Amino acid sequence: MKTKLGPQRILFPLPTVLIVTGTMEKANIATIAWISILSSKPPTVGISVGTKGFTGEEILKNKNFTVNIASAEIMTETDFCGITSGKDIDKFEKTGLQKLPSSEISAPIIKQCPINLECKLIESKIIGTTNHFVGEIVETHVDTDKIKDITHWGTIDIDAVNPLVYISGAKEYRTIGKKIGDAYNIGNKLKE
Amino acid sequence: MKTKLGPQRILFPLPTVLIVTGTMEKANIATIAWISILSSKPPTVGISVGTKGFTGEEILKNKNFTVNIASAEIMTETDFCGITSGKDIDKFEKTGLQKLPSSEISAPIIKQCPINLECKLIESKIIGTTNHFVGEIVETHVDTDKIKDITHWGTIDIDAVNPLVYISGAKEYRTIGKKIGDAYNIGNKLKE
């Protein structure tokens, strides 16, 4: 049996990422879960942030941002960056997270995040009370000890990355669970 | 130490959803992981599908689609819908997944998915080789036995929903793991 809940923005599970804007001299961090890959050629990512927030202002000014995947190890720092505004405080200073320079853009990456994407803004679109920013991914960084073969990103050790999972509604952080099947493969069982 | 991998579309973890297009008489299912909530007022969701695929054609024709969250229980059916094209086969027939009528739109929902979102197309935008469709969520359905208090979607029992997690690159399906913290709360530790 199904129950209708009316129009609700429900999606499970969500990734948890830290968006860094600004420059090495003055940078800010925002935590978001409304993010998706949009295309592979070119590689692009879409992020949604509030139209009235500091991060949106900074992206429009600098035309770039970095996406830093949060691990379970930095859950507390990640949550802090989601419940505070960069208008008031220096979140790098408060959390102890450290900046590293990007290769292609002004916004730094976060050392403690196992995976970092450098993104150049290619377009933006206001939808309701959020701004949807489309970024072209121009460089990717991964912790060297978390990838088996640096010539293929598919060999990233996901258990070593230990990505933080966000469950909206219940407002929980979780880890990823155990492997239960091979994608692009297990469905072949139903072909006959 | 960090290693540069060049421009790569990396994001962990990803949700796994079944997109249904068409009508109760003739419907199709596509599996995707490139999906994100875009805004809460109005509630909108963005999905990315190939410009050359059947799902994109159907969305442009009917101006609606449903998002059906896959559970670990239907991993095999979900994978099958991701490695086959609706141009050739009836995926409902092949998988045994069942249609239920939507309230507001033509595209049906999937009975076996614990959560279903009815979406009206409000815009689309081609980015590279994919089309990004923005849907306004006009109704939400949840399995009645998987919500504690039907007046608040935040009481959905996420362990009962058991959402399927997709790990790109490694091409793995996983479950969600254990709870490790309260979001919008644990970061308060760093405020002083």
Break chain B down into helix, strand, coil percent, rounded to 5: 20, 45, 35
pLDDT of residue B192: 76
Residue type at A175 in one-letter notation: T
pLDDT of residue B85: 92
Distance from CA of A153 to the nearest CA of B (A): 6
Residue A57 in contact with partner chain B when CB distance is under 8 A: no
Give the 3-state secondary structure of residue B78.
helix
Q: What is the pLDDT of residues A17-56, one digit of tens each?
A: 999 999 999 999 999 999 999 999 999 999 999 999 999 9
Parts of chain B with a pLDDT under 70:
none
pLDDT of residue A161: 98
On chain A, the residues whose CB falls within 8 A of the CB of B165 are 13, 165, 176-177
Q: Choose among A148, A171, A173: nearest CA to A159.
A: A148
Residues 90-129 of B with CB under 8 A from A: 94-95, 100, 103, 109, 115-117, 125, 127-129
ipTM greater than 0.90: yes
State mean pLDDT over A132-153: 97
Residue B51 in contact with partner chain A when CB distance is under 8 A: no
pLDDT of residue B88: 85
- Indicate the residue of B4, B77, B184 with minimum beta-carbon distance to A190: B77
Give the 3-state secondary structure of residue B92.
helix
Distance from CA of A148 to the nearest CA of B (A): 11
Residue of A31, A91, A121, A127 to mutate for B, most B C-beta atoms under 10 A:
A127
Would you list the DSSP string of chain A?
Answer: -EEE--S----SSEE-EEEEEE-SSSEEEEEE--EEEEEETTEEEEEEEETTSHHHHHHHHHSEEEEEEPBGGGHHHHHHHHSS-TTT--HHHHH---EE--SSSSSPEETTSSEEEEEEEEEEEEETTEEEEEEEEEEEEEEGGGBS-TT-GGGB-HHHH-B-EEETTTTEEEEEEEEEEETTTGGGGG--
* Residue A8 to residue A14: CA distance in whole angstroms: 15
In sequence order, the β-bridge partners of residue B120 are: B64, B136
**b/e B90-128 (16+ beta carbons within 10 angstroms → b):** ebbebbebebeebeebbbbbbebbbbbbbbbbeebbebb
Beta carbons of B180 and A175 less than 8 Å apart: yes
* Residue B35 to residue B133: CA distance in whole angstroms: 10
Q: Choose among B51, B19, B53: nearest CA to A41.
A: B51
pLDDT of residue A56: 97
Return the residue of A nearest to B137 by Cα: A7
pLDDT of residue A192: 76
Element (H, E) at B159: helix B158-161
- Indicate the residue of B37, B43, B169 with minimum beta-carbon distance to A154: B169
pTM here is: 0.97
Please give the mean pLDDT across all residues of chain A.
97
On chain B, the residues whose CB falls within 8 A of the CB of A108 are none
Q: What is the pLDDT of residues A168-179, one digit of tens each?
A: 999 999 999 999
| Strand ranges for B72-183 from DSSP E | 99-100, 109-110, 115-127, 130-143, 165-167, 172-182
Distance from CA of A71 to the nearest CA of B (A): 10
Residue B134 in contact with partner chain A when CB distance is under 8 A: yes
B52 CB neighbour count, 10 Å cutoff: 10
